[in-house]
Amino acid sequence: MIKKFIFISYLIFFSFLIQNCGFNTIQELDEQVKADMAEILNQYKRRADLIPSLVKVVEGYSNFEKNVLTDVTRARGNVGGLSATPEIINNPEEFQKFQHAQNQLGSALQRLLVVVEKYPDLKANQNYSDLQAQIEGTENRIAIARRNYIKSVQAYNTYIRKIPGVIWAGFFGYSVKSSFVVENEDEILKMDKSISKPPEIQFEK
């Protein structure tokens, strides 16, 4: 009977300790980071899904520079060849590879949209205009999602680097997460007719 009482007492004490040591806070911050990364992946997928239709419309114009279309198609293929889940943020090397591929796709897509400016007939095509609007909207949502992710990673990394978070993060195996810097999100949010330069990677140390 006494042993049972001691066991229950220890269980209650341990539960109280867990509730008040910051472990729950770490979990909440961790889940927020994953949720924000999931939204980024969702918007990246939407952008990739729009590209085949865009390429098909542009291909109809015989004088259009084929190398630009080739770059976009190749970049999309590189992105498609990488599997990514929200857990990728726990693997800096894979995160860097994936984000590099997304940067390449964004750059190729930007070049395509810039070149289209030289083709008035193509610009006036309704299908192209609709796709361009959808891509611009997606780029805007990507910028917002990345900004939210940066904020949540900053909150998480800051918490687990300070006492008591650093103690419990080490005890439960939590580590800092990879982030990146958006240098031109204000331009993206203007939703003009150009696609912004992709962000550069900056890993937490």
* pTM given for the model: 0.76
Is position 177 within any domain?
yes
Answer yes or no: is pLDDT of 77 > 90: yes
Cis peptide before 164 (omega within 30 of 0): yes
- Distance CA(172)–CA(27), nearest Å, equals 10
State how many domains the chain has. Answer: 1
Is position 15 within any domain?
no
Is position 23 within any domain?
no
Is position 168 within any domain?
yes
Is position 118 within any domain?
yes
Is position 1 within any domain?
no
Higher pLDDT, 37 or 4: 37
Q: Where are the alpha helices (DSSP H) in the chain?
A: 2-20, 23-59, 66-80, 92-116, 120-124, 126-160, 165-172, 185-189
Is position 11 within any domain?
no
Confidence of residue 198 (pLDDT cuts 50, 70, 90): very low
- Distance CA(38)–CA(30), nearest Å, equals 12
Structure tokens that stand for 99 in this block: 């984000």
67 three-class SS: helix
Domain residues for the domain of 32 are 28-202
Q: What is the pLDDT of residues 166-193, one digit of tens each?
A: 887 888 889 999 887 554 444 444 434 4
Q: What is the pLDDT of residues 83-119, one digit of tens each?
A: 788 888 888 888 989 999 999 999 999 999 999 998 9
- Distance CA(202)–CA(205), nearest Å, equals 9
Name the DSSP letter for residue 195: P
CATH number at residue 102: 1.20.1440.20
Is position 127 within any domain?
yes
Task: Report helix angle 23-59 to 2-20, nearest 10.
Answer: 50
Residue 194: the pLDDT is 41
Buried b (16+ CB within 10 A) or exposed e, 122-150: beebeebeebbebbbebbbbbbbbbebbb
CA-to-CA dists, residue 173 to 56, 152, 167, angstroms: 48, 19, 10
Residue 202 phi/psi, 5° resolution? Answer: -140, 110
